[in-house]
Amino acid sequence: MSGCGFLTEATTIERRQFLLMLKHGFLAENIMNKAFNLNMMKVAGRKKIKDRGINWKESYEDKSESLKKKFDSAIGPNAYIRWEGHDYTTNSDYYVVVGPTIQNELGKCFFSGIKKLPADPDKKVYSPSGEYFTDIVAAFSYASDKWGVPFPKNVPHYNKSMLEGVSIPEHIRG
């Protein structure tokens, strides 16, 4: 039944009754009462990651620790930050990263992305998905607004022109 998404939990008889009401032009009040019966409406969707109460802590692994040192020395402090947090609603761990990358259209730019960590610590951790930005303040703002990570204090206004002389490793290119 196209156009009747709010009737997903209604029985076939209830659907027929509703369609007959529409066809025969019953009063709008009757239609509204039938259409918005809370017993028939399906409430769907999980909470946004930002609203799940994840306590984000700055955390680096071997590869990310070397990236942090490299970018902080080449660009400046807070040029690369990685957070990890545990979502108790799904019993899953996530990581968020904000830092330099290379993207096909923008060239060298900043990236803000998230990825669910595998339950098995021996499994490969894949690249996060996210958005690309021409300055780091926009990337931090996006991460803060989208996933609730803390916005760092005293963030310098790094922009893509500051990345010109910086070597960005192949494994973090977009």
Residues 14 and 89 in one domain: no
Give a yes or no: residue 41 inside a domain. no
Q: How many other C-beta atoms are found inside a 10 Å radius of the C-beta of residue 3?
A: 6
* pLDDT grade for 54, boundaries at 50, 70 and 90: very high
* pTM score, whole prediction: 0.72
The range of the structural domain enclosing residue 26 comes to 5-35
* pLDDT grade for 124, boundaries at 50, 70 and 90: confident
**Residue 135: predicted pLDDT:** 95
Residues 61 and 21 in one domain: no
**Residue 8: predicted pLDDT:** 55
- Number of structural domains, the chain? 2
Residues 88 and 63 in one domain: yes
Give a yes or no: residue 69 inside a domain. yes
Assess contact for 126 and 95: CB atoms under 8 A.
Answer: no
Assess contact for 140 and 152: CB atoms under 8 A.
Answer: yes
**Residue 143: predicted pLDDT:** 97
Residues 87 and 161 in one domain: yes
Comparing CA positions, the residue from 95, 88, 101 lying closest to residue 60 is 95
Percent of the residues in the chain that have a pLDDT greater than 70, as a whole number: 74
Give a yes or no: residue 42 inside a domain. no
How far are the Cα atoms of 17, 24, 32, 136, 174 from residue 29, in angstroms, in the given order? 15, 14, 5, 52, 53
Rounded to whole angstroms, the Cα distance separating 101 from 129 reads 13
Q: Which long-range contacts does 46-52 make (Cβ < 8 Å, 24+ apart)?
A: 46/89, 46/90, 47/89, 49/87, 49/94, 49/114, 49/146, 49/147, 49/148, 50/145, 50/146, 50/147, 50/148, 51/148, 52/87, 52/88, 52/89, 52/90
**Residue 1: predicted pLDDT:** 46
Give a yes or no: residue 159 inside a domain. yes
Residues 86 and 31 in one domain: no
Mean pLDDT score, 72-100:
95
Give a yes or no: residue 86 inside a domain. yes
Residues 159 and 92 in one domain: yes
pLDDT winner (highest mean) among 147-151, 153-157, 165-169: 147-151
**Residue 27: predicted pLDDT:** 47
Give a yes or no: residue 115 inside a domain. yes
Residues 77 and 110 in one domain: yes
**Residue 53: predicted pLDDT:** 92
Residues 55 and 31 in one domain: no
Assess contact for 143 and 133: CB atoms under 8 A.
Answer: no
Residues 100 and 123 in one domain: yes
Rounded to whole angstroms, the Cα distance separating 159 from 31 reads 55
The pLDDT mean for the chain works out to: 83
**Residue 62: predicted pLDDT:** 85
